[in-house]
Each structure stands twice: as C-alpha cells, then as structure tokens.
A and B are shown apart, each in its own frame.
Chain A
C-alpha cells in the first residue's frame, strides 16, 4: 500500500476531531488548552499536505506563522490560567461558574 497525501489529510482530520471533541468533554483548563493546540497542529499538517498536493509553498509558510501564533497564544493562555489557579487552587473549568444565565 502506498502512502498517498490523502492519508495525511485523513490523519489531520482525525487529529482535529480529537482536539475538537476533547475541548468539549474534558474539564481541566490545561487539557482543554492542549486540545486546542492539537487542533492547530492538525491544521498545520493539513496545510503542509495541501502544499505538497498543490505544489505551492504557501501552505508551508502559513504553518510557520501558525507556530508563532500558537506560541503567543500559549503565553496569554497560561498567564490567565495561572492567575485563576493561584486563587482557586484548581484549573477545572467546572469550578469557574460564577457567571451564568
């Protein structure tokens, strides 16, 4: 069986789905955050694969930008999660329930 680019697209779609479902069912803010990163990386894989299929470099360039953006997101996200954790001693998103309805 030869490994065609389509397989990588399927893998990217699978990873993206795992991440998307993970955000919905997990409860720890850090795990949620890792699921989002998984989704971003799935998108990167898809971009690089399409770059290969299309024969243009755009996709690979975008992947680099996405890595930088993801790093910036980590900085902001962890800062917010940390500030909450210091007060509540918990990173569970179920505990953050003061705002509703």
Chain B
C-alpha cells in the first residue's frame, strides 16, 4: 500500500483562523467550567486577546502570496486585508457585545430556552446576567468569516459559509428585550439562509460538473478554455451568485435584511452589518476575479442590473421606514449596491476600492448602531423614528455624533462615505461601467433624503413627553463609538494611507 501523501500546510499563514477557532473552543470550555457570575470576566478578555493575537499573525504575514493546505486556502493581499478588516471590525463589535452597563445583565437574555412570557422569563427580564454563550458564538462566526475570505475552493467556501452563518442565526435569537421579534428574526434568517446556501451548494455541484474540479484556478482554466457545457457553467455561476448575494444583502435577495436587523440584539446587528458584509463581498470578489474572470462579459450585465436594483430598493424603501434599525438596514442594502458597482469594475482598482469601501462602511455602521443602543427608555431601546424627534435639544452631543454618521452614510465630503463612494464610482468609470456610475450617483441623491429627514427631525423638533433620554455609555460602548467616529472622520480627511494599502493589497493569487 502506498504511503498517504499529505499536503504541505503552512501553519503560520493559517494561524489567525486556528487561533480564533481555538479561542472559540476555549470559550465553550469556559462556559462549562467557570461559575456563571464570572464567565463574562473571562470571556471578554479571552475574545479580545484572541482577536489581537490573530491580528498580529495577519500583519506578520503581510506580503505573502501563496496557496496552502492542498490549494484549499489562498493567503494573498485581499485575503489578508479582509481578514485584518474583519478582525478589527470584530473587536469593535465585540466591545458593543460586551457592554453591561446600559441595562442590567446586558443585551442578551439569560436563558434563551425559557418560553417568552412565562414566570421564569419575567423573572429573568428583571436583570439576570446575560447569556455568555454569545462570546464563543461570535468567535466561531468571526473565525468562519476569516476562512470564508481566504477559501480557494468551493468546498472550503461552503463549509466556511455555514461555519459563520450558523452562530449568527443563534445570536439573532438571544435579545433580552422583545424576545418574540428576536426569535422571529432568527427563524427568518435561518430558513432563508439555509435556502440560499442550498442554492450555493447546487451551484457548486454544477460547477464541479462543468470544470471537473472545485479549485478556483482549475475553474478558471476550464472557463478560459471554453470547453464543457455552457448550461452547467451559467446555471452554476447563477446559483453560486444567489448564495453570495444573499449574504451580501443584494436585491432581490435582501428581504431578510430589515427583519433580521430589527429583531436581532443591536450589537449583533452591528456585527452582521460590518463583518458579514465584509466577508460576503470578500468571497464574491474572489469568486468573480479568480474563478470566473473569463465569463465577465456574461455575468456583468446581470449582476449590474442586480446592483442597480439593490441601490434603488435600498434608497426608495429607506424613505418609507419608521424604525431606526430598519432604516439602517435599508441603507445597508443600498450600500451593498454601491459595493457591487466597485466589484463589477473588474479591474485592480475595482478590488482596492471595494476593500476600502468595506472598511469605511464597517466602522461607520458599527458607530451608528452603537448610538442606537444608547437611545433608550424603560422598555429598552427606543428605535421608532418618532421617538428620536427633538433628541438634538435633549442631548446635543449624541445627536451631533449621529448627525455626523448619517452625513457619512449620505456621502458628504470630509467623511469616509464620500471618499469610499468616490473610489468605487471612479473604479467603475475606469472599468467602462458608466451606466452603473450614473445609477449610483442618482440613487445616492435619493438616499440622502431619509438621512437628512432624521437629521431635521432630531434638531428642529421640540422634544416631547416621550422623547427618550440618551444613556451615558459605559467604557466599552464609548470606546466603540469613539473608534467608529474617528475612523469615519479620518478616512474622510486623510484617506491616503488606507488607499495605498488597498492598492497594494489588491492582487489575488491564482
């Protein structure tokens, strides 16, 4: 019998993922071994340390361009940049998740299994310590995202997709307040997410049938050679795209987004809006730029139409929203459209501008959701728009910060929103996609309206009886808020260093 030939594995390159998976497993053990009252004290430093260690390894690998673990994983510029971005955004989101001072016990319910409205549930609502299971789940999700953006074959990509999705489904169901909404959000996210990943999987089967292999380099060879059945190729690519565009929240696969963003605990919403979006677009970039550049002329019109539809749906429906979290959800859908514009440039500038946009948007959106966690009344967060009227009089500082963030979303100069939109539109223009740029500029003007409506409402209305107070944030939320706002400002005023970094990181290994 022949000896088994094992593939060479570069452990240093895999270290960020291994560390995070290890930390997640350790977190599970902590849940089992440490007394309930002290778990949070162990889990938060453990998670933060793990993320910092992973970031150190990502930075140490800078400049690496290789495939490892039998071509299953590619460590190259975009993969490392996206991993770094996911880790940093993950740290900021973890700060929000760890906040305990805003309400007794924190944003998570103590025992999610207790039926809503039962005797036991009413007693835990009063302030029993929150479920610390959230931390290992977050670490699993982040580790899955790191793997997702580095996956170099479709199987690894599918497994990573599930590894980061399954914890997120559970995290959505853990809200302390409004538990029915939270559970409903989890159910919707789960059913639609499983549906989308089934499409993704059937797409893998068809592409495997077409190319005879699942690594992106072999798929690229098969597409360039043009042998094989066109039906398999196009049906397979379409199904793959459905799976990825679902995660990216592009229309018409966006319907879950507002419901899930509204129902999930707000810190988890910020994690999904920043990190999941980054991971989804990272994978989409790799699939389109490494696996299927040979089919650009075939997929670009279709995904271009999806991009325009996404921007329109996001911008138009954001206008009609009456809930702050839903408004931010539709804004996130519209931003998925702008990101698609960058992706469809199909040039190196397209990659680097998309990477830049992901980081800029991630920080802004986390800061925006951090403000949402602060505006509360006796029943928890007051997310209805009418409740925000007059907030500028009540607490000018936070209304000012939120105004700044909304202006960044609207793409006003001197904020990161302007530079990032400018970058993706410039890349698309350079790639000859003028129609996408025109649609993007028109919809950004549309989209400015709902943001400005909120700004006007906050500053020009009189505060009423029901205007909630803005809670004084704890150290964690303050840190997340300050980081988010500073990065939003910095990338607007001084985008040069990050633009350089994305330009250097924009080269995929095939």
Residues of A within 8 A of B (CB): 9, 12, 16, 19-20, 23, 29, 32-33, 36, 39-40, 42-43, 46-47, 49-51, 53-54, 56, 58-59, 61-62, 65-66, 69, 72-73, 76-77, 79-81, 83-84, 86-87, 93, 96, 98-101
Among the listed A43, A51, A96, which residue makes an inter-chain contact with B204, where contact means beta carbons less than 8 Å apart?
Answer: A43
Asked whether A16 lies within 8 Å of B158 as measured between CB atoms, the reply is no
Cβ-closest chain A residue relative to B194 = A36
Q: How far in angstroms is the closest Cβ of chain A from B402?
A: 23
A72–B198 Cα gap in the complex (Å)?
14
Among the listed B115, B170, B258, which residue makes an inter-chain contact with A80, where contact means beta carbons less than 8 Å apart?
Answer: B170
User: What total of A-B pairs shows CB separation below 8 Å?
Assistant: 124
B183 interface residue per 8 A CB criterion:
yes
What are the residues of chain A within 8 A of B258 when measuring CB–CB? Answer: 99
Asked whether B183 lies within 8 Å of A47 as measured between CB atoms, the reply is no
A58–B210 Cα gap in the complex (Å)?
13
Given A84-B183, A87-B117, decide whether A36 and B195 contact each other with a Cβ distance below 8 A. Answer: yes
3 pairs of A and B residues whose beta carbons are closest in the complex: A39-B198, A50-B209, A46-B205
A79–B204 Cα gap in the complex (Å)?
28
Q: How far in angstroms is the closest Cβ of chain B from A13?
A: 9
Given A36-B195, A76-B169, A81-B187, decide whether A54 and B180 contact each other with a Cβ distance below 8 A. Answer: no
A83–B208 Cα gap in the complex (Å)?
38
Among the listed B159, B195, B263, which residue makes an inter-chain contact with A23, where contact means beta carbons less than 8 Å apart?
Answer: B195
Can you give 27 contacting A-B residue pairs, CB < 8 Å? A16-B198, A16-B202, A20-B198, A29-B187, A29-B191, A36-B191, A39-B195, A39-B199, A43-B204, A46-B206, A50-B209, A51-B208, A58-B208, A59-B205, A62-B208, A62-B214, A65-B155, A69-B158, A73-B162, A80-B169, A80-B187, A86-B115, A87-B115, A93-B187, A96-B187, A98-B180, A98-B181
Asked whether B166 lies within 8 Å of A73 as measured between CB atoms, the reply is yes
A61–B153 Cα gap in the complex (Å)?
13
Q: How far in angstroms is the closest Cβ of chain A from B20?
A: 18
Among the listed B155, B184, B194, B214, which residue makes an inter-chain contact with A99, where contact means beta carbons less than 8 Å apart?
Answer: B184
Asked whether A42 lies within 8 Å of B162 as measured between CB atoms, the reply is no
Asked whether B198 lies within 8 Å of A84 as measured between CB atoms, the reply is no
Given A69-B158, A69-B162, A99-B263, decide whether A43 and B184 contact each other with a Cβ distance below 8 A. Answer: no
Q: How far in angstroms is the closest Cβ of chain A from B367?
A: 24
B125 interface residue per 8 A CB criterion:
no
A40–B199 Cα gap in the complex (Å)?
8
What are the residues of chain B within 8 A of A51 when measuring CB–CB? Answer: 208
What are the residues of chain A within 8 A of B159 when measuring CB–CB? Answer: 65, 69
Among the listed A36, A39, A58, A80, which residue makes an inter-chain contact with B213, where contact means beta carbons less than 8 Å apart?
Answer: A58
B266 interface residue per 8 A CB criterion:
no
Q: How far in angstroms is the closest Cβ of chain A from B428?
A: 32
Given A50-B209, A87-B117, decide whether A76 and B262 contact each other with a Cβ distance below 8 A. Answer: no
What are the residues of chain B within 8 A of A29 when measuring CB–CB? Answer: 187, 191
A33–B333 Cα gap in the complex (Å)?
26
Given A36-B194, A36-B195, A80-B190, decide whether A43 and B201 contact each other with a Cβ distance below 8 A. Answer: yes
